[in-house]
Chains A and B, each alone.
Chain A
Amino acid sequence: MAEQKRRSKSRRAFWWQVISGVFLVVLATVHMVANHFVVPGGLRTYADVVAYIGTPAIFLLETVFLIMVTVHALLGVRAVLLDLSPSETTTRRLDRVLVLLGVVTMIYATGLMAVVARGGL
C-alpha cells in the first residue's frame, strides 16, 4: 500500500515535471525574447521594466512563468535528491521543505513584481 502510494506520487511528480516543462519552453522563449533579444543593449532600463511589468497582461504572463519555473525547478531538485535513495522519513521531510521553499519563492517573487510595477519601494 505504502509502496503503491509512493509510486503514484512519483508518477504524478513526473507528469507535473513534463507539463510544466512544455509550458516553460514557450514561456521562457517569450521571456527571453521580450526581455533581452528585442531590447536594445539586451536589458531594459528601470523605466522600461516598470512600464513592462506594470502592464496587467504581462504581469499575469510573468506570474504564470514564475509558477511554472518554480514548480519545474523544485520537482527537478526532488528527482535529483531521490536518486540518493533517502529513507521514507527523509523523503517526507524533503517534500515538506521543497513545498515550503516553492511557496516562499512564489510569494517573494510575486511581491517583488508588484513592488516594481508600482515603481519601487
Chain B
Amino acid sequence: MPNADKGRVPAERSRRVSRWFDPRGIAPGQLAFVLHRITGLGLVFYLYLHLAVLSLLARGPEAWDRFIDLAKTTPILILDVVLIFGLLFHALNGLRLTLVSLNMGVRRQTALFWGAALVTVVLTAVAGWMIFRM
C-alpha cells in the first residue's frame, strides 16, 4: 500500500528508493518492480518531450523538415530503439500485473515476467532492425 511505511524516518524512505538501483541479490519480482518504475518514469519524460517536439508542427513545414533530418541521425535512432524497449517492457509487464491483480496466473508470475522480458527483447530487436532499415 502506498502509505504502508508512514512514519518511517526520511533517511529510511530514501534508502528504500535508492534500493531500486541496487542490483545485488535482486529477485525477479523486485527486478520487475524496478524496471516497471524506471521505464514508466522514462516514458513520462518522453511524453512531454514528444509534445514539445510535436509543437514544431504548428510552426510550419520548414521547422518539421529540420526535425525529420535530425530524427534520422544514428544517435536519435538508437534512442528510438531504447524507447521501444521501454514501451514494450512497460506494456507487457503491465499486462502481467493486470492478470495478477485479477487473480490470474499468480503462481506463474515469475515465468510470466521472464516471458514478458523475452518477448520485449525479441520485439525490440525486430523493431531495431526495421528502424535502421528504413
Contacts and interface: CB of A to CB of B under 8 A. Distances in A.
B1 A10 contact: yes
A28 B43 CA distance: 12
A70 to B, nearest CB: 8
Nearest to B1: A10
By secondary structure, the B interface counts as helix
Nearest to A108: B51
B57 A120 contact: yes
B40 A80 contact: yes
Interface stretch (B22-30, B59-67, B106-114): B59-67
Contacts of A121: 58-60
Chain A contact-residue range equals 35 or more
A109 B41 contact: no
A43 B51 contact: no
Interface in A12-53: 14, 18, 21-22, 24-25, 28, 32, 37, 40-43, 45-47, 49
Interface in B1-42: 1-3, 5-8, 13-14, 16-17, 37, 40-41
Contacts of B43: 73
A105 B5 CA distance: 32
Given A18-B101, A82-B2, A112 B55 contact: yes
Interface of A: 6-7, 10, 14, 18, 21-22, 24-25, 28, 32, 37, 40-43, 45-47, 49, 69-70, 73-74, 76-77, 79-80, 82-85, 91, 105, 108-109, 112, 115-116, 120-121
Interface of B: 1-3, 5-8, 13-14, 16-17, 37, 40-41, 43-44, 47-48, 51, 54-55, 57-61, 64-65, 68, 71-72, 87, 91, 94-95, 97-98, 101, 127, 130-131, 134
